[in-house]
Structure 1
Amino acid sequence: MSSSPRNPPFRAEHIGSLLRPEELVKHRYAVADKSATPESLVPVEQKAIKDVVKLQQDCGIQSITNGEYSRHQFWGTFFETLNGMEEINLRESGYDQSIFRAYAPDVKSFMHAKTIPNSVTVANGKISHTGKSSFLPELEYMKSVLPKDQWKNIKLTLTSPSWYHFRYAPNKAYTKGVYANDDEYFADVAKAYQTELKILYDAGLRNGQIDDPNLAYFCSDAMLEGWKNDPENFQTADEQFDAYLKFYNACIERPSDFHMGIHLCRGNYVGSKHFSEGAYDRIASKMFNNLNVSTYYLEYDTPRAGGFEPLKYLPKDKNVVVGVVTSKFPELEDKKEMVDRVYKAADYIAEGSKCSREEALQRLSVSPQCGFASHAEGNALGYEDMRKKLQLVRAIADEVWAGQP
């Protein structure tokens, strides 16, 4: 079997979102309430991106993102800009909250906190790509601040294909009459996703990462119980999971030199909240073997994510990035303990692959467990706390993989 791709992923990784400076957050809200113009945001945003690129470089991080500073939330605006999609939360008449799965972990948290999710986007017409990428400006600006020999290191976070499907009740991701079933909906989303990836690839992107809490929700006992008890469901949770894997694979067909990873966590909301709990054991074998990505960025900072045992299913041609350093709180982990955890993860990979620890380590990297600011306000820690966390990740990597980027 072929070996796993490398560089990317690098030994010291991070998930993508970084704490935004207060000036940027305030200015974006000022644009939203029309007390500032969109044009006035551009220099503020660009300066913040330049600063955060330097932060990553200073911390020895090779996989460079823009901190998601061009977005209000981690998933960006891919779906919102497709033909056929409508942000129905912006309708004057609003919408019926019964369209949601009440037991979907993020919906459950949103409803508890403030009665509605942040964005409510559904298909009210046939979905197609406009030909204009909402992510391309992010990539082009990153290319302008990095030398050409580093463009291949730029990592761009991509929207989960199921982001505006999982949260909705069966057949509610699209209005009545638009699609006859999920297969038709998935097919059009996949075509749009393929167009997006081609635009980004042609512009030089070689390192993509899907941020996807949805698949990890299938590890949650509470979610699975809600699914089982929902009379509207026309398939089991296992069948839905399988359908998603097939759907994702159709979305992310790509050239062999386009590295694609996927990050699975249990939610990362304002004030360092998480949405769900549950070990990867339930989904690991299917996820590792049936999903066409090269790298899995997994949350492993607390017991809510379970143990490393599922890593036994990792194929020899794939990588895993273990997120053992929390991005939610400022307390700094003990480096030796984290190094020991990386070795423990390697031992499970070695057991499953019947290889040595040293060979297993070649398929491993280390990172924070999630982003530092999936949403604008960010987690419950400060900018210098974040710097120390990134430096710790680099130090762990240097201890385990001396001399490797």
Structure 2
Amino acid sequence: MSSAPRNPPFRAEHIGSLLRPEELVKKRYAIASKTESPDSLAPVEQKAIKEIVKLQQDCGIHSITNGEYSRHQFWGTFFETLQGMEEINLREGGYDQSIFRAYAPDVKSFMHAKTIPNQVTIATGKIKHTGTSSFLPELKFLQSLLPKEQWKDIKLTLTSPSWYHFRYGPKKAYVNNAYSNDDEYFADVAKAYQTELKILYDNGLRNGQVDDPNLAYFCSEAMLEGWKKDPENFQTADEQLDAYIKFYNACFERPSDFHLGIHLCRGNYMGSKHFSEGAYDRIASKLFNDLNVSTYYLEYDTPRAGGFEPLKTLPKNKNVVLGVVTSKFPELEDQKEMVERVYKAADYVAEGSKQSREEALQRLCVSPQCGFASHAEGNALEHEDMRKKLQLIRSIADEVWPGQP
């Protein structure tokens, strides 16, 4: 078994999205309402990205992102730009609530606030990558801001392969004349995903992070209960999780020097809301041993994620980034307490691997538990609060792993 990759991930990490400046948020809404020209966006967006890159550097963060400032939502526009995928909410009378899993945690939250979620995208034809990546301009602009030797450190956040599958009921992620079953749908999405990764790799990306709320939902007792009661389900929740891991592995085929991690998100909606709860125990062994990624970015800022015990199943060739600092609220955590939590996590990793604490620490890093602004409006804290959180992450890392980036 090879050792866990390093640099990336870095000892001090963050999850990707950062609070957007008000000027950028207002500009996007003005363009959406057609009160301003789309041409007016680029200067505002590029200025904001330059400033947020400098903030990350000033805070000692090496895994540089664009803060997701080129997107309105964290998942970007990967699926929307694939041939065969269509935003049916743009069709008049295109869908109703019956398309959704009402017990899917994010859908449940969306429907509490409104009739139906935004951006309802399904396959209305055979899925195929067009050869043009909507993420590539993000990468190219970041590269223009950094010296070439730092391009390998750039982190691009990527869409979950199941983002537009799990939220819909069984066989409702596609219309009947597009696909007859999930296996056909998964196969074409995987080919498109591999094409996307190849385009990004060929253009210099070496550090990707998949943002994935769906796998964490399999830790939620409320979701699992809803799944059992759904007469339309043709497989158990465990069988669906297995199918997703097989599907993800097909999507994630990549060169050995392409570091890929996955963030298991429990929700980061407007006003700092979360969607789901439940310890990782139920899925940890499959997650850590069967999924073809190098790094797991896990939320550990509150008891809703359970304890560190599941880390005993972490293989020696994989990393965990411990999200012990919350990105949802401004109160600053105590550094000493956070350091002790990192050590506690390391002890579980060490126990499972029959290693010393110091050996186990080599596979751990630290970060906020989630992004600061998965959606345009961002979480319930201010820009200065975010800066202090990033500095705290750097300070924790410097105490636990002195001298390491």
1:190 aligns with 2:190: yes
For 2:163 and 2:199, how far apart are their aligned partners in 1? 21
Q: Secondary structure of the equivalent of 1:219?
A: coil
Counterparts of 1:106-117 in structure 2 under 5 Å?
106-117=106-117
- 1:329 to partner: Cα distance: 0.1
How far has the Cα of 1:177 moved from its partner?
A: 2.0
Alignment of 1:2-401 (within 5 A): 2-401=2-401
**Shift of residue 93, structure 1, vs aligned partner:** 2.2
Q: What SS class does the counterpart of residue 285 from structure 1 fall into? A: helix
1:174-223 C-alpha deviation (Å, 9 max, x unpaired): 01121110000000000000000000000000000000010000000000
Task: Tell me, in whole angstroms, the C-alpha distance in 1 between the residues paired with 2:45 and 2:116.
Answer: 28
Q: What RMSD over aligned residues (CA atoms) do the two structures have, in Å?
A: 0.5
More displaced 10-residue stretch of structure 1: 10-19 or 90-99: 90-99
The alpha-carbon deviation at position 390 of structure 1 amounts to: 0.2
Whole-angstrom CA distance in 1 between matches of 2:322 and 2:176 = 42
In the alignment, the residues of structure 1 paired with residue 112 and residue 89 of structure 2 have an alpha-carbon distance, to the nearest angstrom, of: 18
1:198-252 residue CA offsets vs partner (Å, 9 max, x unmatched): 0000000000000001000000000000000100000000000000000000001
What is the deviation of 1:268?
A: 0.5
Distance 2:93 2:246 in 1: 36
User: C-alpha displacement at 1:278, in angstroms?
Assistant: 0.3
Give the CA deviation at 1:37: 1.2
**Structure 2: gaps of 5 or more residues:** none
The alignment-based identity, stated in percent, is 86
- Matched position secondary structure for 1:13: coil
In structure 2, C-alpha distance between the alignment counterparts of 1:35 and 1:78, rounded to whole Å = 27
Counterpart of 1:133 in structure 2: which amino acid?
S
Which secondary structure state, in structure 2, belongs to the residue aligned with residue 19 of structure 1? coil
4+ residue segments displaced more than 6 Å = none
SS in 1 for 2:226: helix
Give the distance between the partners of 2:202 and 2:217, measured in 1 at CA.
33
Matches of 1:124 and 1:118, distance apart in 2: 18
The CA deviation at 1:97 is 1.3
Code of the residue aligned with 2:19 in structure 1: it is L
* Aligned-partner SS, 1:84: strand
Q: TM-score, normalised by structure 1?
A: 1.00
TM-score, with length taken from structure 2:
1.00
SS in 1 for 2:218: helix
How far apart in 2 are the matches of 1:237 and 1:110? Answer: 22
SS in structure 2 opposite 1:132?
A: coil
1:218 is aligned with what amino acid? F
Provide Cα deviations, 1:126-151, integer angstroms capped at 9, x if missing partner: 00000000100000000001111110
Distance in 2 of aligned mates of 1:150 and 1:38: 31
SS of equivalent residue, structure 2 residue 320: strand
Equivalent-residue separation in structure 1 for 2:178 and 2:142 (angstroms) = 38
Q: Distance in 2 between matches of 1:314 and 1:152?
A: 25
Alpha-carbon distance in 1 for matches of 2:280, 2:177: 37
**Counterpart code for 2:112:** H
* Deviation sequence 1:73-108 (CA, Å, 0-9, x none): 000000000000000111122312101000000000
Aligned equivalents of 1:377 and 1:279: distance in 2?
Answer: 28
